Amino acid sequence: MTSPVLLTSRLARTFETKRGTVEAVRGIDLTVRRGEILGFLGPNGAGKTTTLRMLTTLLPPTSGSATVAGHDLARDPAGVRTKIGYVAQSGGVDPAVSVREELTTQARLYRLTKPQAAARVAELADELGLGDVMERPCATLSGGQRRRLDIAMALTHRPGILFLDEPTTGLDPGSRAGLWALIRRLRDTSGTTVFLTTHYLDEAEALADRLVIVDHGGIAAEGTAEELKIRYGGGPGATLQETFISITGRGTVTGDSGTGEPVAV
């Protein structure tokens, strides 16, 4: 087994609110191998985004520790940031500037020279299918184009680990297929590790090497889709949707592998 590229130990985060303490993440232990596509699933409010925000240095853990791409999260957050890319659940690009400017600024932030930045931006435009909108202000992009720009921004510095928080929500089927192909290509050609959150179980099943299912801030189950179906879904013939509901007691947005009907969450 290759060495883990990400390790957490009892990683936890609470939030103090007027109505008391929210235990968003309750001490999770994760091991992710280099080049693995990990599907990080769970119902709304399970703690997925909070975990991703901690692992990407945006939110300090309340307790516990993590090593991300060889850097200790608490002691060397700047080191972690050089090795990762993060596509947040809701992206944050400047609406007024053009797509090309936004990507170029990002590349320059990562210390690429002007010619290097221009070359990298051209590559990203091609990979993410943004060629036709490069001169348009970000505000004018469609939802799917915006999502592809968010992903291009996260890939600018060729990160070893890519964190994607619901990257395909709102994408049309063609764009979704394109993104799946890109994720596989990153893994296969660059050995990129992908930490993927999604509510689409067909997507999780198609892409992820392994699934971790979180619920109420803790890990409820982990394994390959087939392993989980056998252990929790009643057998290999079970759908991932049935398995997910049996693990969490709650549904999520279904994909092609489910019943076809959205299940209330």
Ligand X SMILES: Nc1ncnc2c1ncn2[C@@H]1O[C@H](COP(=O)(O)OP(=O)(O)OP(=O)(O)O)[C@@H](O)[C@H]1O
Q: Could you tell me which of 232, 225, 234, 222 has the C-alpha nearest to residue 207?
A: 225
CA atoms within 13 A on the CB side of 15: 13
Contact partners, residue 119, CB within 8 Å, separation at least 6: none
Residue nearest to Mg ion (CB): 49
Q: Could you tell me which of 203, 224, 18, 202 has the C-alpha nearest to residue 213?
A: 224
Q: Which residues in the 176-215 window bind ligand X by CB under 6 A?
A: none
Does 252 bind Mg ion (CB under 5 A)? Our answer is: no
Residue with tokens 């057998």: 235
Residue with tokens 């929210």: 22
Nearest to ligand X of 3, 17 (CB atom): 17
Does 50 bind ligand X (CB under 6 A)? Our answer is: yes
Nearest to ligand X of 89, 98 (CB atom): 89
Does 47 bind ligand X (CB under 6 A)? Our answer is: yes
Among 15-23, 26-34, 126-134, 176-184, which window interacts with ligand X (CB under 6 A)?
A: 15-23
Q: How far apart are CA 88 and CA 55, in angstroms?
A: 12
The H helix count followed by the E strand count for the chain is 9, 10
First to last CA, the chain: 37
Nearest to ligand X of 104, 198 (CB atom): 198
Amino acid at 190: S
Q: Which residues in the 72-101 window bind ligand X by CB under 6 A?
A: 89
* Helix 99-109 / helix 143-155 crossing angle, nearest 10 deg: 20
Binding partner of residue 186 among Mg ion, ligand X, none, CB cut-off 5 to 8 Å per kind: none
Q: Which residues in the 39-58 window bind Mg ion by CB under 5 A?
A: 48-49
Distances (CA, A) of 76 to 57, 67, 70: 9, 9, 10
Binding partner of residue 98 among Mg ion, ligand X, none, CB cut-off 5 to 8 Å per kind: none
Given candidates 11, 30, 38, 46, which one binds ligand X under the rule CB under 6 A?
A: 46
Given candidates 44, 63, 90, 142, which one binds ligand X under the rule CB under 6 A?
A: 44
Does 49 bind ligand X (CB under 6 A)? Our answer is: yes
> What SS3 state is found at 38?
strand
Among 60-68, 83-91, 92-100, 186-194, which window interacts with Mg ion (CB under 5 A)?
A: 83-91
Does 17 bind ligand X (CB under 6 A)? Our answer is: yes
Q: Could you tell me which of 17, 160, 189 has the C-alpha nearest to residue 80?
A: 160
Among 43-51, 129-137, 222-230, 232-240, which window interacts with ligand X (CB under 6 A)?
A: 43-51
Among 14-22, 103-111, 188-196, 231-239, which window interacts with ligand X (CB under 6 A)?
A: 14-22
Provide the binding-site residues for ligand X, judged by CB under 6 A.
15, 17, 22, 24, 42, 44-50, 89
